[in-house]
Amino acid sequence: MRVSLAAAGINMRVMTNELPGDATSTADFVDKIDNLFDLLNSRAMKSDRPARCAVTAVNSNLADLLALIAWVDKWIFWGIRVQSRILCHWGLQTSILNIHAMCQELMQEGFKFVCTARFNQDCLEIFFCWFA
C-alpha cells in the first residue's frame, strides 16, 4: 500500500476544491499514522524514507516516537463515554512506549542501531517455534 500517496491525493483534492478544506486533517492523520508504522517497522540502516531507517543515536527516530506518543495520547474517540475502554488506544501507546524504551536500552548497552521490525510478533513466533 502507498499510504503516503493517499494523503497526497487527499491534499490534491482539497487544493482543486474537490474536497472540503477540513479534509486536510484526514490527510495529516493518515500521514502521521504512516510515519508511526514506518518507525515501528524499520528493517534496514538506510531507506528511502527516514522513518523506515533503523533507530540510531544520530537520527531523529527516537524523538519522533516521543512526539507521536504525545499525539496519540491526545486522541479522543467520539460517541464513547469512557475513553479508557478503547483498548487498542492503550495498546498502541504501550507499544510505542515499549519500543522507545527498548531502543534506548539497547543503544545504552552498545548497539549501534535497532531495527524495530525485529520486535514484531512474526519475528518472535519464528524465533520461538524452534523451541516448541
115: number of CA atoms within 13 Å, CB side?
Answer: 9
The pLDDT value given to residue 58: 93
65-75 confidence digits (pLDDT tens) = 999 999 999 99
Q: What percent of the chain has pLDDT over 70?
A: 92
- CB contact set of 31 (below 8 Å; sequence gap of 6+): 3, 4, 7
pLDDT, tens only, 96-112:
999 999 999 999 999 99
Taking 70 as the threshold, does the pLDDT of residue 131 lie above it? Answer: no
pLDDT band at 80 (very low <50, low <70, confident <90, very high): confident
Tell me the HSE value of 16 on the side-chain side, using a 13 A CA sphere: 7
Q: d(Cα 74, Cα 83) in Å, to the nearest integer?
A: 11
